[in-house]
Amino acid sequence: MVQITELSFRYGEPERGEQGFALRIDELRVAAGESVAFVGPSGSGKTTLLHLVAGILAPDAGHVLVAGEDLATLDDARRRAFRVAKIGLVFQEFELLDYLSVLDNILLPYRIHSILRLDGAARDRAGALAERLGIGDKLARRPGSLSQGERQRAAVCRSLVTGPSLLLADEPTGNLDPVNTGLVLDALFELTNESGATLLAVTHNLELLPRFDRVIDFKDFQPPPAARS
Amino acid sequence: MTGPLYLAWRYLVFHRVKAGILVLSISLIAFLPAGLNVLVGESAAQLRARAEATPLLLGAKGSPLELSLSSLYFESREPAAVPYDEVARVVATGLARAIPLHVGFRVASHPIVGTELAYFAWRGLVVAQGRQAAMLGECVLGAEAARRLGVAPGDAVVSSPESVFDLAGVYPLRMRVAGVLAPSYGPDDRAVFVDVKTAWVIAGLGHGHADLREASAASSVLRKENGPEGERIVANASVKEYNEITTDNAASFHFHGDVSSYPITAVLVVPPDDKSRALLMGRYSAPEETVQVLRPIGVIDDLLGTVFTVQGYIVAALALVAAATLATAGLVFALSIRLRRREVETLVKIGGSRGSIAVVLAAEVVFVLLCSGVLAAGFTLATERLGGTAIRNLLLS
């Protein structure tokens, strides 16, 4: 599902005196349906890698192939279309829009990209997902009136409503208590297992790691000190 | 495209207080110059209509504006008086009809207008209830005056005391309401019309009292003298003066001195044609002339010229306020976009293009401007529809 080769990426411009940050991955392959946890210290590039895989960022060098598509070779419009159709994103801070109802938040991808058609089937899918995640009775409410766990479950619904083959989760339980952490993770694993979607998740919670098929420590991707400067 | 528009609409609905304030501010600032224009235009039209319908005014020398406002709209201070024989003087020229006016007293806040029956025919005023005043002490009320005073034919109204502490001054006169005029939607609606002689009675120039020749009035008689004009009776202060004119005491009412010298505040001069008007104005233009004859439309146009100049200043001030309002609205939008940076980033991350996000933000501005435009147009339409009535009520108040 995801194939990364000879990837290098650098933030900042050291020649202009800016503090640089670099990520270098020689090779990384994630099979379809696999669940992988990314761990490592803050600033080690976990979120950056998710953004590179999502096509939000473009690598300085190397290739990121998702479902056989090299995102770097696509123009901006096609890359966005690919992302909205194939990739679901879950954020630590939920990133729900406070002025939309829970249902409208779940259906947000359909509102911002014309490649997706908002029809009855999409609404039914949103409703069914919300029921599965225990927020079916809260579709008309605003995110502000939900608990933290309910908000993240709404965000998970949004990430899955388009039926993506790849789910990228950036610390999805970082702001949740243990009970909600369990609920959200259960939902993520259940739904990705059912759909056969691949799950890449960044987490600092080491207790969750046994649930993933594979754990990748980002200490392995740190360039040698000479390459950082 | 409907997706971004939907998001913009939902954002404005969620932030409806902020959006409402913006819409109201912009719509008001757009409406105010147009509304002011409509109101000033309507006021000017109504003021001019009355002035145009009044060919010439004769009054004491002094402020033409005071004379016009007093005689046409029954506003302003009471102008200096001219003698009643100015009416005869105009008629004697053979160039115009003349209608006397005495404006100075009030019933509550309503002006008492002393005049003659010719005034009603000339202004096109018709009696809707009751009849015309037929005897001294009767009055006919404008429709608005009758409504506000809550009186109908057969009731009575009392003139306001003009000088409470002046024992020799003006005493209130109780007047019977003979009729109520049909609405004319002008200053006549709020007036109380009396015969000019009734106005003189209110002024204390005519009075009625017990017959001093009767035995019952003996205690009020100071002395009796015989002169060339017959018996002259001098009374003391105990003589009873009537404050209401009835059929029983009407005969006792009389005027002392030469009525032709009694005061009126203006003469409405109605020449049959432009030539007669020009000739009349020429006759009254001599430097030694003690009265002035003026064309009210000229006076009102001068007044409106000043009003329009002031309106220009107000519109210029409104333009500055509009610029400040739009700048503030722009700032609100700019700050709003800054505050929504995370939201924009989220939309980008889940697949939204910069273009569609720009459409969301621009649609919010367009919605606000659109709603403001519709509201401002509604205000302006309402002002155009209701402005005439509002101005009439304002002029009547």
Please give the interface size between A and B, counted as residue pairs whose CB atoms are below 8 Å apart: 64
Between helices B354-396 and B296-339, what is the axis angle to 10°?
150
Q: What distance in Å separates the CA atoms of residue B366 and residue B356, rounded to the nearest whole number?
A: 15
* pLDDT score of A17: 60
Q: Which amino acid is at A21?
A: F
Closest chain B residue by Cα to residue A51: B349
* pLDDT score of B169: 57
Q: Using one digit for the tens of pLDDT, what is the confidence trace for B20-64?
A: 998 998 899 888 888 888 888 888 888 888 898 899 999 999 889
Which of B10, B14, B351 is nearest residue A83 as measured by Cβ atoms? B351
* pLDDT score of A19: 58
Work out the number of other CB atoms within 10 angstroms of the CB of residue B337.
14
Q: Looking at beta carbons, which residues of chain B come within 8 Å of A142?
A: 14
- Do the bridges between strand B192-195 and strand B110-115 make them parallel or antiparallel, or are there none, so unpaired? parallel
Sign of the C-alpha dihedral, residues B66, B67, B68, B73? positive
- Do the bridges between strand B56-60 and strand B266-270 make them parallel or antiparallel, or are there none, so unpaired? antiparallel
Structure tokens given for A33 = 């349906």
Backbone angles phi, psi at B111, to 5 degrees: -70, 140
* pLDDT score of A229: 40
The DSSP code for B244 is: B
Q: Using one digit for the tens of pLDDT, what is the confidence trace for B243-298?
A: 778 777 777 787 777 888 999 999 999 999 999 999 998 988 888 888 999 999 99
Mean pLDDT of A31-53: 89
**Domains of chain A: residue spans and CATH:** 34-44+75-228 (3.40.50.300)
Structure tokens given for B392 = 């009439």
* pLDDT score of B279: 92
Low-confidence ranges of chain B (pLDDT < 50): none
* pLDDT score of A114: 80
- Do the bridges between strand B266-270 and strand B97-107 make them parallel or antiparallel, or are there none, so unpaired? antiparallel
DSSP assignment of B186-209, as one string?
SGGGG-EEEEHHHHHHHTTSEE-B
Q: What distance in Å separates the CA atoms of residue B64 and residue B71, rounded to the nearest whole number?
A: 10
Residues of chain A that touch chain B, judged by Cβ-Cβ distance less than 8 Å: 51, 54, 56, 76-77, 80-81, 83-84, 89, 91, 95, 97-100, 104, 108-114, 118, 142, 158
* pLDDT score of B177: 95
b/e string for A197-210 if b means 16 or more Cβ within 10 A? Answer: bbbbbbbebeebee
* A187 vs A142, residue with greater confidence: A142
What is the least distance, in Å, from the CA of A225 to any CA of chain B? Answer: 31
Averaged confidence pLDDT in chain A: 86
* pLDDT score of A228: 43
